[in-house]
Amino acid sequence: MNEKKNTILIVDDEPQIRKLLQISLEGAGYKVVECDNANESIRLSASVKPEMMLLDLGLPDRDGKEVIKEVRGWTQLPIIVLSVRDSDDEITKALNLGADDYVTKPFNPDVLLARINANLRKAATKEAGEPEIRNGKIRMDLVRHEVFLDNEKTFFTPKEYELLRYFLSNRGKMLTHKQLLKDVWGPAHGEDMQYLRVYVSQLREKIEETPSDPEYIITEPGIGYRMEIVEQPASLQAEPTKQAANA
């Protein structure tokens, strides 16, 4: 089952460091994407849209601090610097440019994992105001990337998850076709209306009682879609059952 996992982008020009991080992160349940230079890291940040970047500063083409500055121009993804540079000046500059954390090499993998988890929780809370989003019978755990319908864990493909997250984060708002395509698929897909129609249809099949007469994702003819704000059913007012919580 291809469930959505948090993707972490490793940017380091030392193959042994990338390998160590890959083993550690994949063992902890993360998906890993890696590269060895600054320019590629910026490209991957835009195309892959990782949930976090682990960034070395001593890169062959540009200083890592330039990556922080450029990436911060359009995304707030958490950035943890991993560097042998341990001077107060380097740490201060990186943090002031927008890095979320700074870990010096050599590092303890367990400590790094703890910092990764803490920064992902912080990012999820910042995005939605809390680590999960609820609307009607839908509950999305932004940290674990899990979705529950009527307290039952339900499988969504990675792209279905991203589209549903976007709808939930913007519930009550009218979203244009181009806005949805640009923010979920990227700028290159601004005209791919068929993509959007197919995925909206797939979401409706999973979350709607009657997909042909939707309650959640409403079509705004000629404009786009809107996720209605739906009252939580009385049966879900209590905390999730132990079975659902442990699913």
pLDDT of residue 238: 53
Which residues of the chain are under the pLDDT cut of 70?
1-4, 125-130, 188-190, 235-247
In a domain, 79, yes or no: yes
In a domain, 2, yes or no: no
In a domain, 243, yes or no: no
pLDDT of residue 106: 92
Distance from C-alpha of 34 to C-alpha of 14, rounded to nearest angstrom: 11
CATH assignment of the domain containing 211: 1.10.10.10
| Among candidate residues 99, 128, 157, the one where a domain is terminated | 128
pLDDT of residue 190: 64
Give the tens place of pLDDT for each residue, 100-124: 899 999 999 999 999 998 888 887 7
pLDDT of residue 245: 43
From edge to edge, which strands make up the β-sheet containing 152-154? 132-135, 138-141, 146-149, 152-154
Distance from C-alpha of 231 to C-alpha of 1, rounded to nearest angstrom: 31
124 and 11 in a common domain: yes
Does 106 sit behind a cis peptide bond, omega within 30 degrees of 0 on the bond before it?
Answer: yes
Range of the domain at 147: 132-236
CATH assignment of the domain containing 47: 3.40.50.2300
pLDDT of residue 243: 41
HSE at residue 218, side-chain half, CA atoms within 13 A, is: 12
pLDDT of residue 65: 95
In a domain, 245, yes or no: no
Of 126, 164, 129, 170, the residue nearest 145 (C-alpha): 164
pLDDT of residue 4: 61
| Among candidate residues 128, 150, 185, the one where a domain is terminated | 128
pLDDT of residue 119: 87
